[in-house]
Amino acid sequence: MKTKQNLQLVLMMVTFLLIRVAATAQRYSGYFYQAEKLFNSQNYYEASQVYEKYLATEKNSRPRSQPFAVEKKAKGKANMDPHEEAVYHLAECYRLTHNYQKAEKYYKESLGFSPKAYPASLYWYAVTLRANKKYEEAMKAITLFLEKHTQLDELLSGADKELENLRFIQSQSENIVNRFTITPYPTAQNNSAYALALKNEGGVAFTMIKEAPGKNGEMEYSNVLFESKQETDPQAGARRMEINTEPGENNGMATFTRDGRHMFFTRWTRINGKTQSSIYLSNQTDTGWSNPVKVPPPLNLEGSNSAQPDITGDAHHLIFSSDRDGGSGGYDLWEASLDSNLEVIQVKNLGNIINSAGDDQAPYFHDKSGTLVFSTNGRTGMGGFDLFYARGNFDLSNWQKPENAGAPLNSPKDDLYYISTDDENLWNTGWLSSDRSSECCLALFSVKENNARYVNGSVIDCRTGKPVDQAMLTVTDNRHPGRPLQRFQTDSSGKYKFEIHNTAHFKISLKKQGYVLKNTDYDLQMISGKDSMLNEPICLQLLSDSGSELNQLFTSLTRSSRVGNFAYKKAILSDSAHDNLDSLANLMRKYPQLVIQVEGYTDSVGGQAYNKILAQKRVDACIRYLVKKGVPANRLVGKAMGECCPIEPETINGSDNPSGRELNRRVEYKLAQTP
C-alpha cells in the first residue's frame, strides 16, 4: 500500500514538472515568435524589449537545449537555433535604434556562431566598435573581415568605406584644431529633442520624442513639434505646437518663411513596418496654425518619401530629401522652385556633385554665405551621418565639391540638422543634432566657434579732444539688444579694453553726466582664434554744444514721416520700409532721448474693426523690426489708426483709384516725447 502511494506521489511530481517545463517552454517560445514578428515588421525598439525577455527567460529557466524545434531554414542555417537568432537579431535591433553599446555586446557574442549563418557579424561588430570610439579594435576587426570576406557584395564595399572612415578619424585626431565648443543641451525628463529650426524674432521650433502607454500597455513613441521664444534656451517656455494631428501621425523637421507665418514640415506614419513621409504646409492665422495640407506633386510623389524641408530666406527655393526615382542613391537632396504664393513651380535634383550613392539628408542653406550644409552617410567621414558643406547657387545649379566639416562638429555616430544662428558667419554659433552622447537617440548640441576679439579704444571730448574719464560703457550684442554683455568705465586716460566672443555685430553705448548719450555700432568678420582690434576714438558731445542740433531735429520730427506702403491686406515690410526703418533706428541710437510714435493706416476696403486689426499688425511689424535693430521697446509707442486719415482719394470721378489706396496703406512715425 505504501509502495503504491509513493508511486502515485512520484507520478504527480513528474506530471507537475512536465507541466511546468511545458508552460515555461511555451512562454519563452512565445517571446521568441513575438520578437521575430516585431523584428520582421521593422519595429526594432519593441522587438529588442521582447528579445531581452526571451533571453532572460531562457537563461533563468533551463539550459540552452530547447524543448521545441524551430523548423525555419535559411541560407547557411540548418534548423535555426533560436538562441543564436535572438542574439543576432537583438544586436541588429540595437544598431538600428542607434544603441551601439548594447549592439556591440550582442554582435560580439554572435562572433561565436557559424560565419556562414551570420556572415555580417564581424562587419557590424567593427562598425559598433568605431561608433563607441574603440578605433584600434575597430581597425583590427574590419581588417580581419576584409581578409576573410571575399564575396563581391555590399558588405565588402561597406567594409572598404569603413576602413576609409577609420583612416579619416585618425587624421582628424592627429590634426584636430580646437576650433569649436560643442555643448549638449539638457532636455526635460530626458526626452529626445532634435532638428531645431529658426522661426522669427528669436523664436525656434524643434522636434521632441514623447512617450506614452499604448493600448496594450507597452510604451509608444511619437514625434511632436514644439515651439519656443528662446533661441539660446529652446525649452524655456516651450509649448507643443497646436497642429491638427491624427493618431499614428508624427511631425518633425520644420522650416519657416522669414516672417514666421508659413511652415513646411515633415509628417510621417508607419504602416506595416514601413515609414511613409511627406511634406506638409501650415499657415499661422489669428486663431493658430491652419489645418496642415499635404503639398501636391511635384513636391510629394506617390510611391516615394519626401522629408526634411528647408526654405531659403527669399522663399524662392525649398530644399528637401527624397528617395524618388532619378536620384544618385537612397535619399537625395532635391530643390523645389517656389512662386510668390509658395506653390511649387518645378523640382530638380541637386546633382551628383552634392548627392552620393548613400543617403543625403537634413539640408540647411545659409543665405549670406551661400553655403549648403547637409548630412550624408555616403562619403568618407567619421562614421554614420557626417555634416558636409558646399558653396553654390540654386539658380545656376553650380556647386563646389562638398567638404567634411570635421571634428568636433562630426563624431563617430550620427550628426545631422545643423543650423546657424548667425546671419553673417555660418559656423560662429548654431545648433546640431547628434546621438554622440546617447545610447539611442538624437539630442541637441549648441555650437560655438572658439574665437575672441580684444577690443581697445579711447573716449574723448568732441570739442577739445581731451580724454573723458569715468565714462560708462555698455557693450551689447546687436542680435540680443536686451542683454548687455559687459559694463565698465573708462580709466583716468579715457581708455577702455574688453574681450568679446562669438559676436560679429556689437554696440558700445557711452554715458557721462553733462554729455549727450552716444551709441556706436561695430561690424567684425569673425574668424577662428584670437585677434586684437583698435577702435577709432569715440567723441562725446557736451549737452551745451548739442542744443541747436537737437532743436532742429525735434522740429523736423513734429511732422509725420512715412515708413512705406503695404500690399493689400498684408503687414509685410517692403524693402523701402526696411531702408526707412534702418534710418530711424540709427537716429534713435544717436539720440537716446527720442521717443517715437508709430501709427498704422489702411485703405477703406473692409470693415472698420478689420482695418483696425490690420493697422495694428503693420505697427507691430515696424516695432519688431526697430527692436531687432537695437531700439528699446519702451521708446516706441504704437497706435492703430485704421482707415481714418487718407492722404489720397480712393476714388476719382466715381472710379476706383488703386494708386491712392496703395498710398493710404502706410505706416508713419512722429515725435511722441521730447526730453
Q: Tell me the sheet residues that pair with 267.
A: 251, 278
Residue 369: helix, strand or coil by DSSP?
A: coil
Give the span between the Cα atoms of 628 and 72, in whole angstroms: 67
Q: In the CATH scheme, what architecture does the domain 547-673 have? A: 2-Layer Sandwich (3.30)
Q: Which residue has the cell 549648403?
A: 372
pLDDT band at 87 (very low <50, low <70, confident <90, very high): very high
pTM of the model: 0.69
Q: What pLDDT was estimated at residue 522?
A: 81
Tell me the H-state helices in 41-153. Answer: 44-61, 82-96, 100-110, 121-131, 135-148
Q: What percent of the chain has pLDDT above 70?
A: 86
**Choices 1.25.40.10, 3.30.70.1560, 1.10.150.120, 3.40.50.720: CATH for 29-175:** 1.25.40.10
pLDDT in tens, 150-170: 888 889 988 998 999 999 988
Question: What is the grid cell recorded at 571?
Answer: 503687414
Q: Where in the chain is the domain with CATH 1.25.40.10?
A: 29-175
Residue 476: helix, strand or coil by DSSP?
A: strand
Q: What are the backbone dihedrals phi and psi of residue 53, each rounded to the nearest 5 degrees, phi first?
A: -65, -40
Which of 9-18, 72-81, 87-96, 105-114 is least confident? 9-18
276 has a pLDDT exceeding 60: yes
Q: Where in the chain is the domain with CATH 2.120.10.30?
A: 180-449
Q: Where in the chain is the domain with CATH 3.30.1330.60?
A: 547-673
171 has a pLDDT exceeding 70: yes
Q: What pLDDT was estimated at residue 97?
A: 86
612 has a pLDDT exceeding 90: yes
Average pLDDT score over the chain? 85
pLDDT in tens, 541-571: 887 665 556 566 656 665 567 787 888 888 8
Q: Tell me the sheet residues that pair with 596.
A: 636, 671
Q: For residue 407, what are the contacts with CB-CB under 8 A and spacing of at least 6? A: 169, 172, 173, 176, 382
Looking at residues 452-463, what average pLDDT do you find? 91
Domain 180-449 sits in CATH 3.20.20.70: no
Q: For residue 663, what are the contacts with CB-CB under 8 A and spacing of at least 6? A: 565, 647, 648
pLDDT band at 21 (very low <50, low <70, confident <90, very high): very low
Which of 242-251, 476-485, 554-563 is least confident? 554-563
What CATH superfamily is the domain 452-544?
Immunoglobulins (2.60.40.10)
Half-sphere exposure in the Cβ direction for 524 (13 Å, CA): 26
Amino acid at site 558: T
Highest-scoring range by mean pLDDT, 60-64, 435-439, 442-446, 475-479? 442-446
Give the span between the Cα atoms of 621 and 661, in whole angstroms: 20
pLDDT: is 226 or 190 the higher one?
A: 226
Burial label for 136, CB within 10 Å (0-12, 13-18, 19+), is: exposed
DSSP annotation of 634 reads G
Q: What pLDDT was estimated at residue 31?
A: 87
Give the span between the Cα atoms of 281 and 344, in whole angstroms: 12
Looking at residues 236-259, what average pLDDT do you find? 91
313 has a pLDDT exceeding 70: yes
Choose among 554, 550, 548, 575: nearest CA to 564: 575
Q: What are the backbone dihedrals phi and psi of residue 134, each rounded to the nearest 5 degrees, phi first?
A: -100, 70
pLDDT in tens, 23-82: 444 455 688 989 999 999 888 888 999 999 999 887 665 444 443 334 444 555 555 789
